[in-house]
Amino acid sequence: MASVLVTGGAGFIGTHLCNHLHNKGYHVISLDIQQSDDNPWEVVVADVRDYLQIDGIDSIVHLAAQVSVAQSMEDPDYTLSVNVDGTSSVLAAAESSGVKRVLFASSAAVYGDADEMPITEKSPLIPQSPYAVSKIVGEELCRQSPIETCALRFFNVYGPGQSSSGGYSAVIPAFKKAIAAGMPPTVFGDGTQIRDFIHVSDLVRTIEIALSSKVIPEEVNLASGESTSLIDLLKALEKHHPDMANPLFEDERAGDIHTSIADVTLMNEVFSPGEMITLEEGIN
Ligand code: UD1
């Protein structure tokens, strides 16, 4: 079975991906700056920006990144360093060791606030944050590599194990943590912002298909194609937590995108991931 190196393998998506690929019989190597829990796959603790020596790897899924838009507004240098230098270093290691395919975790953030919804892969790239810039540069580095690469443009991924700690947690774990503590969830802006949420199990299943797919586009949206406003999200959570506190509205975050909904035609054509978990099923 093929060997796959997963950078960021100890993170939220990385742990799900390593587990999924391991269960499917892949030889999995996780590379992460953080030591992970005891897992049955191989683990390398390293910074992606370091000189990486890798041997006998067929494919790489490059997930390691600074993932928060808000953090990138506060510390652009760190975001650019991890996301750009890290990608450059992973590609250099891949090129010198004969890796056949690199799947790069890009983001819906590259589109910014697009004029037309849903967003196709041909929509213009309008970065609104250093995070978005870092992903655009990462994509370009992939395009310039002689290796076969694909930029997987993740929309908003959620699911079990997603961190709720610190000030940069994604919206679903942040809301759930507040509700569990009997505190009001904090909404940045008026709550009308729209996201396309994809459950992590649907995402990792699709990534596995992309590893072995004969046809591989240069870039593709990975999303559910369903739009949900933060107000809708709060209503869905309220069904299971009728006593939850009313949300607290704070100022909109700098760099934030208002509306993000994917056109998933290309994803369905090339990968056929099948039916996806609805947000109602996935959040509880
Ligand atoms: C998320 C991902 C990013 C990914 C992108 C793809 C995280 C931390 N970010 O960015 O890596 O590339 O999707 O679309 O996983 N919000 C609140 N209250 C909170 C937290 C957030 O109102 O407590 C708001 C934000 O201001 C934003 C929306 O919820 O409007 C979503 O925020 P967030 O979950 O951080 O995700 P994105 O910025 O969309």
For the chain, 284 residues long, give each residue's pLDDT as a single digit of tens.
899 999 999 999 999 999 999 999 999 999 999 988 789 999 999 999 998 989 999 999 999 999 999 999 999 999 999 999 999 999 999 999 999 999 999 999 999 999 999 999 999 999 999 999 999 999 999 999 999 999 999 999 999 999 999 889 999 999 999 999 999 999 999 999 999 999 999 999 999 999 999 989 999 999 999 999 999 999 999 999 999 999 999 999 999 999 999 999 999 999 999 999 999 999 98
CA 68–ligand 1 middle distance (angstroms):
7
Q: Let me know if residue 172 belongs to a domain.
A: no
**Residue whose pair of structure tokens reads 């370009």 in the numeric block:** 140
Q: Let me know if residue 147 belongs to a domain.
A: yes
- Report which protein residue has its CA nearest ligand 1's atom 13: 156
Q: Let me know if residue 163 belongs to a domain.
A: no
Give yes or no for a contact between 269 and 213, defined as CB atoms under 8 angstroms apart: no
Count of domains for the chain: 1
- Report which protein residue has its CA nearest ligand 1's atom 39: 156
From the alpha carbon of 191, which atom of ligand 1 is closest?
Answer: 22
- Report which protein residue has its CA nearest ligand 1's atom 19: 171
**Nearest to 51, CA basis, from 92, 17, 14:** 92
Give yes or no for a contact between 213 and 145, defined as CB atoms under 8 angstroms apart: no
| Domain of 16, in residue numbers | 3-158+197-224+263-277
pTM: 0.98
- pLDDT attached to residue 284: 84
- pLDDT attached to residue 135: 98
Following CA atoms 107, 274, 10, 237 in sequence, which dihedral angle do they give, to the nearest 10 degrees? Answer: 80
Q: Let me know if residue 166 belongs to a domain.
A: no
**Nearest to 217, CA basis, from 279, 270, 155, 280:** 270
Mutate to test the pocket of ligand 1, among 67, 74, 156 (most ligand atoms within 8 A of CB): 156
Cβ within 8 Å of residue 132, ≥6 positions away:
69, 107, 109, 110, 112, 255
- pLDDT attached to residue 167: 86
- Report which protein residue has its CA nearest ligand 1's atom 18: 187
Q: Let me know if residue 175 belongs to a domain.
A: no
**Nearest to 157, CA basis, from 129, 110, 198:** 198
Q: Is 276 helix (H, G, I), strand (E, B) or coil?
A: coil
Q: Let me know if residue 150 belongs to a domain.
A: yes
Catalytic residue among 26, 131, 158, 168: 131
- Report which protein residue has its CA nearest ligand 1's atom 33: 170
From the alpha carbon of 170, which atom of ligand 1 is closest?
Answer: 34
* Rounded-to-integer distance, Cα 40 and Cα 21, Å: 11
Q: Let me know if residue 257 belongs to a domain.
A: no
Question: Is residue 26 annotated as a catalytic residue, yes or no?
Answer: no
Domain at 95, CATH number: 3.40.50.720
- pLDDT attached to residue 73: 97
Provide residues with CB under 6 Å of ligand 1. Answer: 67-69, 107-109, 154-156, 168, 170-171, 174, 186-188, 193, 195, 230, 253, 256, 260
Give the sheet arrangement for strand 219-222, strand by strand.
42-45, 27-32, 3-7, 59-62, 101-107, 148-154, 219-222
**Nearest to 131, CA basis, from 44, 253, 6, 271:** 253
CA 184–ligand 1 middle distance (angstroms):
18
- pLDDT attached to residue 1: 85
Q: Let me know if residue 33 belongs to a domain.
A: yes
From the alpha carbon of 131, which atom of ligand 1 is closest?
Answer: 12
Helix, strand and coil percent figures for the chain, each rounded to 5: 35, 20, 45
- pLDDT attached to residue 105: 99
Measured from the Cβ of residue 73, the count of other Cβ atoms closer than 10 Å reads 17
